[in-house]
Amino acid sequence: MELQSLTQTLGSEKIRTDKESFQNYGKDWTKHISANPSAIVFPTSTQDVVNIVQWARKNKVALVPSGGRTGLSGAAIATHGEVVVSFEKMNKILEFNEFDQTVRLEPGVITETLQNYAKEKGLLFPVDFASRGSSQIGGNIATNAGGINVIRYGLTRNWVSSLEVVTGEGKVLHLNNSLIKNASGYDLRHLFIGSEGTLGFITQAEVHLSRPTQNPTVFLFAVPELSGVMKIYHSFKKQIPLLAFEMFTDVAMGYVLKHTGLKPPLSEEAPYYVIVELENDSENTMETAMAIFESSMEQGWLTDGTISQSAQQAKDIWRLREDITEATSPWEPYKNDVSVRISKVPEFLTEVDQVLKTEYPAFETVWFGHIGDGNLHINILKPQNMTSAEFIENCHKVDEILFEKIERFGGSVSAEHGVGLTKKPYLHHTRSHEEIAYMKAIKAVFDPDFIMNPGKIFDESN
């Protein structure tokens, strides 16, 4: 590969070709796919990114964007000798606009850094998830990241007020200029959000902030039957605006307790646990929440529960849910991240439960999710004596059953983790052939040489 001219343009300090960097920057958190990049480049400006794209076009080299590398669908893995473009060094917060309540920043800013910055200004950046300490805002935008507060604040998309991107033609676009109202044609900003770097790379963004939440308070419930989960959800949803509504199983809880050394939080054990978070902003809210708690208990939908009395207690309860990914990671989970519309969740959960029991009798499955968004994470743990290839083959067989169900329910094969490499073969269960053809046509407009994260979401041919 002709790296010399790129080295001359960027400077040798911005390029690495050592094995350690390949392993480190060549992939994200996705298991069972290996990294095989040719070089890692570290732009420090938009002009650097333009130069990289122009060099890649000229030399017919594919590029893979890389942020905090916390992705779980393989969108940030270089498998075919691509050059990885790490945004790690473009990590400055550039400007706070107090009047507009917006922050202009570079893509490599860590999500938690932005959250803390917003807090210092007395405001809130509400996109939040367990990987907040590693994930970067550019990756959050490129994948339209979801997380634990979507039920209240929506997806990352809702918070992006403008974008600067470098397209696959090496052109710089400034999109939307933080206008709230802008009815001047297609909103290209939203096309780039969630495009997984397949149209262009984000080099700057402006996000807007929210007022902070008032006294967030967390409930943890032990739930004996799967059907109870959505009954509890419905009771809350009807009466109180929720910040989060999450579910996980006793198996998931077991892994977290073992991994963290935390004590079991409730005296009663149950097959399912639910976390409800709400703003304790008035006596009235708490009275209503307590009444729902009590009536759910009377109905037998829950058998035990606890309420956080302090910020620390709230954090401890959240760890039971947020630490699941890390606690199960040594078992190299095969991950599915699916969604259906809320009203279909009860029926869908029952059917999925049945599939998991009959199709995976020998595998341990850990499921959890943002159930208030209709989003379920299904993790299959790899038995230690099984090869990765054998395990994946087994999981793919069940994928076919699961995704046919998803199609029947009108759901999505990827709720929030993206398509990347791992969900690419199943995209047609969620998107029609016509829709996929339009997506490909759109890619060809912005990336005529097919160099921007090629092979992610869909392949050029077929």
Residue labelled with tokens 């095969």: 334
State how far the Cα of 168 lies from the Cα of 160, in Å rounded to an integer: 21
Please, what is the minimum distance in Å from the beta carbon of residue 379 to ligand MLT? Answer: 7
Nearer to ligand MLT, 72 or 137 (CB): 72
Q: How many CB atoms lie within 10 A of CB 192?
A: 26
Please, what is the minimum distance in Å from the beta carbon of residue 69 to ligand MLT? Answer: 14
Angle at 67 between CA 149 and CA 411, to 5 degrees: 45
Please, what is the minimum distance in Å from the beta carbon of residue 376 to ligand MLT? Answer: 10
State how far the Cα of 395 lies from the Cα of 331, in Å rounded to an integer: 14
Please, what is the minimum distance in Å from the beta carbon of residue 342 to ligand MLT? Answer: 17
Please, what is the minimum distance in Å from the beta carbon of residue 149 to ligand MLT? Answer: 11
Q: How many CB atoms lie within 10 A of CB 257?
A: 16
Q: Which of 398, 397, 401, 435 is nearest to 419 (CA)?
A: 435
State how far the Cα of 149 lies from the Cα of 216, in Å rounded to an integer: 12
Angle at 432 between CA 428 and CA 434, to 5 degrees: 125
Please give the residue whose beta carbon sits closest to ligand MLT in the complex: 325
Q: Tell me the DSSP string of 133-192.
A: GT-BHHHHHHTT---TTHHHH--GGGGEEEEEEEETTS-EEEE-TT-S---SS--HHHHH
Nearer to ligand MLT, 55 or 233 (CB): 233
Q: Residue 333 in 3-state DSSP?
A: coil
Residue 11 region by backbone torsions, left for phi larger than 0, else alpha for psi between -120 and 50, else beta: left
Please, what is the minimum distance in Å from the beta carbon of residue 408 to ligand MLT? Answer: 23
Please, what is the minimum distance in Å from the beta carbon of residue 129 to ligand MLT? Answer: 6
Nearer to ligand MLT, 69 or 377 (CB): 377
Nearer to ligand MLT, 27 or 189 (CB): 27
Please, what is the minimum distance in Å from the beta carbon of residue 136 to ligand MLT? Answer: 16
Sheet holding 160-167, edge to edge: 93-97, 102-105, 200-208, 160-167, 172-175
Residues engaged in binding ligand MLT (CB under 6 A): 72, 129-130, 325, 377
Nearer to ligand MLT, 66 or 379 (CB): 379
Please, what is the minimum distance in Å from the beta carbon of residue 372 to ligand MLT? Answer: 12
Amino acid type, 80: H
Structure tokens of 101? 């309540």
Nearer to ligand MLT, 103 or 402 (CB): 402
Structure tokens of 22? 């390949």
State how far the Cα of 182 lies from the Cα of 190, in Å rounded to an integer: 13
Sign of the CA dihedral with 370 first, then 435, 419, and 362 last = positive
Q: Tell me the DSSP string of 74-119.
A: STT---SSPEEEE-TT---EEEEETTTTEEEE-TTSBHHHHHHHHH
Nearer to ligand MLT, 206 or 337 (CB): 337
State how far the Cα of 161 lies from the Cα of 212, in Å rounded to an integer: 19
Nearer to ligand MLT, 53 or 137 (CB): 137
**Strands 334-339 vs 200-208: parallel, antiparallel or unpaired:** unpaired
Nearer to ligand MLT, 72 or 205 (CB): 72
Nearer to ligand MLT, 109 or 130 (CB): 130
Q: Which residues contact 361 (CB under 8 A, 6 or more apart)?
A: none
Nearer to ligand MLT, 69 or 443 (CB): 69
Nearer to ligand MLT, 152 or 377 (CB): 377
Please, what is the minimum distance in Å from the beta carbon of residue 248 to ligand MLT? Answer: 9
Please, what is the minimum distance in Å from the beta carbon of residue 317 to ligand MLT? Answer: 15
Please, what is the minimum distance in Å from the beta carbon of residue 435 to ligand MLT? Answer: 25
- DSSP conformation class of 243: E
Name the burial class of residue 107, with classes exposed (0-12), middle (13-18) and buried (19+) by CB atoms within 10 angstroms of its CB.
buried
